[in-house]
Structure 1
Amino acid sequence: MKPYDYILQIVTLILLYIQFIVGLTLYFESPIVHYFIKNFNEAIKLRQVRFFGMEHITMMTIGILVFTIGYIKARKNKAV
């Protein structure tokens, strides 16, 4: 693996985690999410509120996990 590839991987991973932390901060400060949490039984029936309160955070977290697993597998398979 070239040093440039390693640096690019590390920088991408760091930026991904920074974006994740900023996103979590904004998520828990959002008035939509506060409404979703306080009025869960009502909010689950509203498509837009459910998307931002539950679906978006779930899919973004899964995306982070997939990216991290891919990074780990690529690092272990560096001999190829």
Structure 2
Amino acid sequence: MPKLNKEIIKFLRKRNNMTQRDFAKAVNCSFALIALVEVGKRRITDNLEAKIKQTFDLDDKKISSIATLVDEISKGVPPFI
């Protein structure tokens, strides 16, 4: 089962044209938590992951697709979106 990571969270946030504050409000957590997760200083708890999955209607297949896309972008391959 694919897990969310900081790159996927940042991708979701930017893809939805959200600030960290907007994203935090949407998933009902603190802005500080999202900021710390994105820089790798806090881990993604099961609770946070569940909230994000529910808010953005994500299943394992969608998370895998996003993970692949994020990986390709990090290699400098232009995305086809």
Instruction: Give the TM-score taking structure 2 as reference length.
Output: 0.25
The structure with more radius of gyration:
1
Q: Which has the higher helix share?
A: 1
